[in-house]
Amino acid sequence: MFKTSTFIQKSFKHEIISTISCLCLHRKKANAAMLSNYEVFKLLTDLKEQRRDAGKSKHSVRQQNLNTIMYETLKYLSKTPCSRQSPEIIKEFLTTMKHHKLTKAEKLQLLNHRPQTAVEIQLMVEESEERLLEEQIEELIQNVADLLPGDPEQENKAAADARMDEGGEQS
Amino acid sequence: MFVLVEMVDTVRIPPSDFERQLNDAIAEELNKKLANKVVYNVGLCICLYDITKLEDSYIFPGDGASHTKVHFRFVVFHPFLEEVLVGKIKYCSQEGVHVTMGFFDDILIPPESLQQPTKFDEAEQVWVWEYETDEGAHDLYMDQGEEIRFRVADEVFVDTSPTGPAVATPDAPAQPGQSTAPPAEESGDKKEAPYTLIGTICEPGLGLLSWWSS
């Protein structure tokens, strides 16, 4: 609910309209917060549901830009690990990551990418050779694999390949 | 990849929308204004996150619409420097490898930032990494549509707001492959992307995903 509009008194000059109506968009704080891919994915999915429920057809004509960016961003994010995450998974992940002493940016990258090899970990963690021992990197990979859900298709394929190898050895 | 940016702006609500809840009308106007647009030195705006403060609404003489100053937070695509991202190769040219992420297209990996040694195959218009092993050199092609992991080395913001009739811009060839999601740029002769990311793949683990998957 908004307050009743206030009418500007006639003593104001006519120029005021143009000055105030023109673009006064400005940024207050550059990086108020970093968002994980999951948060953006959830926001866009909820927004999509909301707009679909509202059902107004005039949305699509007036909001073409919003539709485009939502569609493309959701398409991109749905193919990343964030589409299989939830607030509980992220909370558990961050709690487990505490003792590894990683920076916020590094934890965010691990969360968004779900690295599976040591090479990927070294990309995301700065100076990993000096900060982490080999066992710690292994532990990190294990934590990531256990806590963050992976791509079921990829995992099924890997399991099928493993079974094929075993079958070959047996025969 | 995404950040939250706090912004302030005055939103104009036309009288035809007065029946709607103010919050909804303002949210729609902000999205209409900023979604899928690049704000100079901020990034590519995605969608409204929330409205933090609504100041009083004013109606000015001569204009029936209400003007409200709004404090809000917007989700913006603005990767930090050194961040690792995954995209798809759009096409290769002499300038380097052009990568797209679907919602954001203007990512370039210049030739000096590719894995060395790399050469440009003119016939197929692809960059090829000549990977040396003990068995000999393997030619690894950077084909269109392949998924590629890169690191953000630099970002370039260009102010594409109209400069006025006095500046006569010569007819420059338009950049090929305009973004599918066009940011706010003037429809002039020179089409420069307002926000470009410069990437690098000159590190172990970077480059095509297929190169590093066991």
CA-to-CA separations, B79 to A74, B14, B107, B196, in angstroms, rounded: 17, 36, 12, 11
Q: Residue B214: helix, strand or coil by DSSP?
A: coil
pLDDT band at B181 (very low <50, low <70, confident <90, very high): very low
pLDDT of residue B168: 55
A160 membership: H or E segment, kind and range:
helix A152-170
pLDDT in tens, B23-37: 999 999 999 999 999
What is B25-82 written as a DSSP string? HHHHHHHHHHTT-EETTTEEEEEEEEEEEEEEEEE-TT--SEEEEEEEEEEEE-PPTT
Nearest-angstrom CA–CA distance, B30 and B50: 11
Per the prediction, chain A carries an average pLDDT of: 79
How confident is the prediction for chain B on average, in pLDDT?
A: 86
Residue ranges making up the domain that contains A123: 86-150
Within-domain flag for A17? no
pLDDT higher than threshold 70 for residue B172 = no
- In this model, does residue A98 exceed pLDDT 80? yes
Is any Cβ of chain B less than 8 angstroms from the Cβ of A61? no
- Is A47 part of any domain? no
The total number of structural domains in chain A stands at 1
Q: Quick check: is A108 in a domain?
A: yes
CA distance B119 to B111: 9
* Rg of chain B in Å (alpha carbons): 22
Quick one: pLDDT band at residue B169, thresholds 50, 70, 90?
A: low
In a domain, A71, yes or no: no
Residues in chain B with CB shorter than 8 Å from the CB of A1 are 22
Question: Is A133 a member of any domain?
Answer: yes
> Hunting for tokens 């004509």 — which residue is that?
A61
Q: Which residue has the tokens 């084909």?
A: B143
Say if residue A159 is exposed, middle or buried (CB neighbours under 10 Å; 0-12, 13-18, 19+).
exposed
Q: Strand pairing partners for B108? A: B98, B198
Which residues lie closer than 8 Å to B165 by C-beta, 6 or more apart? none
Q: Distance (Å, rounded) from C-alpha A118 to C-alpha A134?
A: 9
Q: How many residues does chain A have?
A: 171
- Give yes or no for A118 touching B (CB within 8 A): no
Mean pLDDT confidence for A138-163: 83
Q: Is the pLDDT of residue A50 over 50?
A: yes
Long-range CB contacts for residues B16-22, cutoff 8 Å, separation at least 24 = B18/B66, B22/A1, B22/A2, B22/B54, B22/B57, B22/B68
Q: Model-level pTM?
A: 0.82
Highest mean pLDDT among A15-19, A59-63, B209-213: B209-213
**Can you spell out the DSSP letters for B155-178?**
EEE---S---TTS----PPPPSS-
What are the tens digits of pLDDT across the range B85-127? 999 999 999 999 999 999 999 999 999 999 888 888 888 899 9
Residue A70 lies in a domain: no
CA distance A170 to chain B (A): 23
CA distances, A160 to each of A152, A157, A167, A168 (Å): 12, 5, 10, 12
| pLDDT of B128 higher than 50 | yes
Nearest 5°: phi and psi at A21?
A: -75, -25
Using a pLDDT cut of 70, give the percent of chain B over it: 88
Nearest alpha-carbon partner for B60 in B48, B52, B68, B49: B68
Q: Is B119 helix (H, G, I), strand (E, B) or coil?
A: strand
Helix H or strand E encompassing B97? strand B96-100
Q: Which two tokens stand for residue B7?
A: 């912004």
Residue A163 domain-assigned?
no
Q: Which helix (H) or strand (E) segment is B90 a member of?
A: strand B84-93
Whether A5 maps to a domain, the answer reads: no
| Contacts of residue A160, Cβ cutoff 8 Å, sequence gap at least 6 | none
- pLDDT range class, residue B177, cuts 50, 70, 90: very low
Q: What is the CATH number of the domain that holds A145?
A: 1.20.1250.40
pLDDT at A31: 63
Q: Are strands B107-109 and B195-200 parallel, antiparallel or unpaired?
A: parallel
Of A21-25, B115-119, B125-129, B176-180, which range is least confident? B176-180
Query: In whole angstroms, what is the distance from residue B133 CA to residue A4 CA?
Result: 76
Average pLDDT over residues B73-77: 95
In this complex, do A72 and B181 lie within 8 Å of one another by their Cβ atoms? yes
Helical H segments across A79-151, by residue range: 87-97, 104-113, 118-124, 128-131, 134-147
Q: Which of B7, B67, B180 sits opposite A26 (nearest CB)?
A: B7
Q: Chain A to chain B, count of Cβ pairs less than 8 Å apart?
A: 166
Q: CB A105 to CB B83 under 8 A?
A: yes
Pairing of strands B136-141, B66-77: unpaired
**A6 falls in which pLDDT band (50, 70, 90)?**
very low
Q: Which residues contact B108 (CB under 8 A, 6 or more apart)?
A: B95, B96, B97, B98, B99, B196, B197, B198, B199
User: Residue B109: its pLDDT value, please?
Assistant: 95
| A141 Cβ under 8 Å from any chain B Cβ | no
Residue B198 has pLDDT above 60, yes or no: yes
